[in-house]
């Protein structure tokens, strides 16, 4: 299944891929990702090694939680829940 994944610039430096086939040439600003069927938002966070970082999750322009199951062509945006100023 294909989703669009957008990781906010402040989080991109913290990403490390649990599955090396996901890394490399991926553009975390806006890229199509192939993920297994029935993957939830938490599963994507695990793939990116972002599980221990406070995040705000936006799925198709609505704030979501980690248990939401993703569907084909969903757009998942991941933002840092903590910002400096």
- Note the pLDDT of residue 33: 86
Q: Report how far residue 55's alpha carbon sits from residue 65's, in angstroms, rounded to the nearest whole number.
A: 10
Which H or E element spans position 4? strand 2-7
CATH number of 2-80: 3.10.20.30
pLDDT at 20 over 70: no
In the prediction, which pLDDT does 79 show? Answer: 93
Is residue 83 predicted with pLDDT exceeding 80?
A: no
Average confidence (pLDDT) over 8-29: 66
pTM, whole model, 2 decimals? 0.82
Q: What is the pLDDT of residue 19?
A: 59
Contacts of 53 (CB under 8 A, 6+ apart): 11, 14, 80
């Amino acid at each position: 299944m294909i989703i669009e994944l957008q990781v906010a610039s402040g989080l991109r430096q913290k990403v490390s891929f649990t599955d090396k086939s996901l890394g490399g040439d991926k553009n975390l600003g806006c890229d199509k990702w192939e993920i297994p069927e029935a993957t939830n938002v938490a599963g994507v966070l695990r793939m990116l090694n972002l599980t221990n970082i406070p995040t705000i999750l936006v799925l198709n322009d609505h704030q979501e939680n980690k248990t939401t199951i993703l569907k084909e062509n969903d757009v998942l945006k991941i933002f840092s829940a903590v910002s400096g100023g």
